[in-house]
Amino acid sequence: MPDLRFSEAEPSDAERLAVDGVVAELGAVVVVEGERLVYAGRARTAERRHLLLPALHAIQRTSGWISPGGLDYACRQLEVPPAEAYGVATFYHLFTHEPPEATDVVHVCDDIACRPPGALGLIDELRAAGHNVKASPCLGQCERGPAVLVQRTGDHDLTIAPGSVDGVAVAISGRTSAASVTLPQAGSPGLRLLARVGVVDPGSLDDYRANGGYRALDAAISMGPDRIIEEVSTSGLSGRGGAAFPTGVKWRGVADQQGRPRHVVCNADESEPGTFKDRVVMEGDPFSLVEAMTIAGIAVGAEQGWVYIRGEYPVATHRLRMAIDQARAAGLLGADVAGSGKRFDIDLRSGAGAYICGEETALFNSIEGFRGEPRNKPPFPTTHGLFGEPTAINNVETLLNVPAIMLDGGEAYRATGTDRSPGTRLFCLSGRVAHPGTYEHEFGITLRGVLDAAGGVVGADEPHAVLLGGAAGFFVRSEQLDLPLTLEDTRAAGVSLGSGVVMVFGEEDDMVDTVRRVAEFFRDESCGQCVPCRVGTVRQEEVLARLRDGATLDDEVELLDDLAAVMRDASICGLGQTASGAIRSALDLGLLEGAR
């Protein structure tokens, strides 16, 4: 044993088996007798520390909590200091470090999209029915709220949406999640990213191939890395995670690195309130993401791919895992990808309830088995990404664009959308629209066009307010209905498309409460690392609570502005930098005038 001190706590046999199972499945652990961390052993811990997050999941699933015995056993197996492992376990919302009150934890989303359809009432009803209920931030089921996630001990988790007392009981007894949604646009000829969703059998590689799947990989293999990157650059594809960085530039940057190994990471930690588009594709067409990642791997010369998917998506996780396994069995992943002579494989890792892990460097830390705290940039992932190695990290939606670029070429792709925003974009419609759901539109469509395509606003001609881009985005009002939803137009208007959220509020919705809930979200999801965000998000929420309780805006506005300034200018990462944007916009648009 190395020079670490472990505790005397004993694991249960089941916990021992659970941790051993993770180690057997994900990586052999070699412990050198007498190894001392102090002599560079720390570098070698990278070989096994990344097993910590899967091990914690295994303990939580087995025992219903992270018990001292289970944690200590994982620490001994993986040579992680117990204090650090405890720090990691307590970072995540889905891990508990006290003995469970019941076998099942019923997480009910009480976030902004699920409040209007009755989340708070549902929480009371479920508690009255005897469930162990936890209020949760956005669960990514916003088109059919209020959403429920049942976290089970000794069994897989379940999603129920819309949630109800009966629905939860039925799901638990049948061990079945709610069926995946049908797309409002299903069958429309113009779909690219959503073309196969609801059409193919998500569990069948053969069906995927019968519907045009894996032709893009064949094309990419014959093109070779340089041409792939050239076509992606020509296409003008930019990142869909929110920052809109040109994908071709990112891939070129990684491909040009001397260092090896290199990684492709798919950011599927979609946790922005109001966002559910990636889930819909991962549930309905998981092979497309596997294929797109494989192309990315060949392009940048990476042998290892990683999908980091939020822990609240049991169905998408299951289907993606099956797709990866089938692709590997068919020789489309592994030592010789589709006969190309190139090695590429994919590991799937689940998050455990932390919005911040969608920030790329926090995501790396989370995979590596550390707390999901963002790193300072520079250096950037291109040179110092996962495990400090060159990494191309892309959002799910960004990657989904790649197969079409391989098949039709970058020029054809560039001809769609607008000049500076080529291609199509996924939008997450929720709230007071006739047909909520995931939509695909060419860039250039106006906000009014997006609302009309979703059947228009319910009970009014125009929305009272629209949250554009999620909690990290901005509120807009009817004056902005003719705003073309492109990168350039939204930027010029001082707003952003973010993750494609279009959440519609009506006159009947309580905007003061909505804005306060946005502030609460950022307070809850701050990692706590830097002062501006850790304390600033708390003070911001306090101001909004005071406004709700009768304070006048004039007395608070200077403080609110100063809080916005320090969070925007001095926070380490995008969470703190955007934590005041939506709130500030609500204020500017007069949405808080209801506050006395």
Partner 1 sequence: MNDVPVSAPRRPVELTIDGGTVRVPEGSTILDACRQEGIDTPTLCWAENLTPVNVCRVCVVEVENSRVLVPSCSRWVEDGMVVSTDSEKVRTSRRMVYELLASSVDLDRADAEVHAWMEHYGADPGRMGDRADIATVEQPPKLQDDLYVRDYERCILCYKCVEACGEDAQFTFAIATAGRGFDAHISTEFDVSLPDSACVYCGNCIGVCPTGALVFKTEHDMREEGTWDEDAQSVTTTVCTFCGVGCNLELHVQDERIVKVTSPADHSVTNGHLCIKGRFGWQHAQS
Which residues ranging from 374 to 413 are in contact with partner 1 (CB under 8 A)?
376, 378
Least Cβ distance, residue 528 to partner 1 (angstroms): 3
Should residue 484 be labelled a site residue for partner 1 when binding is judged by CB under 8 A?
no
Residue 456 tokens, joined = 């228009």
Q: Does residue 565 belong to the site contacting partner 1 (CB under 8 A)?
A: yes
- Polymer length of the chain: 596
Which is nearer to partner 1, 65 or 214 (by Cβ)? 65
Helix (H, G, I), strand (E, B) or coil at 246: strand
Query: Least separation, in Å, of the C-beta of 19 and partner 1?
Result: 16
Task: Kindly state the smallest distance separating residue 515's Cβ from partner 1, in Å.
Answer: 19
Question: How, if at all, do strands 437-442 and 304-309 pair?
Answer: unpaired
If binding is defined by CB under 8 A, does position 542 make contact with partner 1? yes
Region 351-370 residues binding partner 1, contact defined as CB under 8 A: 354
Instruction: Label residue 37 exposed, middle or buried (CB < 10 Å: 0-12, 13-18, 19+).
Output: middle
Looking at residue 198, its amino acid is G
557 binds partner 1 (CB under 8 A): no
Q: Which of residues 134-193 bind partner 1 (CB under 8 A)?
A: none
Q: Is 462 helix (H, G, I), strand (E, B) or coil?
A: coil
Residues that bind partner 1 (rule: CB under 8 A) add up to a total of 54
The residues that bridge with 347 in the sheet, in sequence order, are 306
Which one, 191 or 352, has the nearer CB to partner 1? 352
Interface pick for partner 1 out of 411, 562, 588, 593 (rule CB under 8 A)? 562
CB neighbourhood size of 358 (10 A): 28
Q: What angle do CA 324, 425, 161 make, to 5 degrees?
A: 65
Kindly tell me which of 30 and 43 has the beta carbon lying closer to partner 1.
43
DSSP H or E segment with residue 437: strand 437-442
185's tokens: 């646009």
User: Closest approach of Cβ 107 to partner 1, in Å?
Assistant: 16
Rg value, the chain, Cα: 23
Closer CB to partner 1, 315 or 572, in the complex:
572
Contact 309, 318 (CB under 8 A): no
Decide: is 566 part of the binding site for partner 1 (CB under 8 A).
yes
| CA distances, 246 to each of 23, 241, 243, 249, 393 (Å) | 37, 12, 9, 6, 12
Cβ-proximal residues to 158 (8 Å cutoff; 6+ apart), any chain:
149, 150, 152, 171, 172, 175, 176, 177, 314
If binding is defined by CB under 8 A, does position 44 make contact with partner 1? no
Q: Is residue 26 close enough to count as binding partner 1 by CB under 8 A?
A: no
The three-state secondary structure class of 115 is coil
Nearer to partner 1, 82 or 403 (CB): 82
572 binds partner 1 (CB under 8 A): yes
- 511: which 2 tokens? 């905007």
Q: Smallest Cα–Cα separation from 142: which of 116, 113, 110, 178?
A: 113
**Token digits for 122?**
């549902």
Near partner 1 by CB under 8 A, which window of 424-432, 503-511, 534-542, 584-592?
Answer: 534-542
d(CA 46, CA 27): 12
Q: Is 563 in the site for partner 1 (CB under 8 A)?
A: yes
- Our finding on whether 82 is near partner 1 (CB under 8 A) is yes
Stretch binding partner 1 (CB under 8 A), from 83-91, 191-199, 336-344, 402-410:
83-91
Q: Which stretch binds partner 1 (CB under 8 A): 147-155, 192-200, 371-379, 478-486?
A: 371-379
Q: Which of 28, 30, 38, 179 binds partner 1 (CB under 8 A)?
A: 38
Which residues contact partner 1 (rule: CB under 8 A)? Answer: 3-5, 7, 37-38, 42, 68, 71-72, 81-87, 90-92, 97, 354, 371, 376, 378, 523-532, 534-539, 542, 546, 559, 562-563, 565-566, 568-572, 577
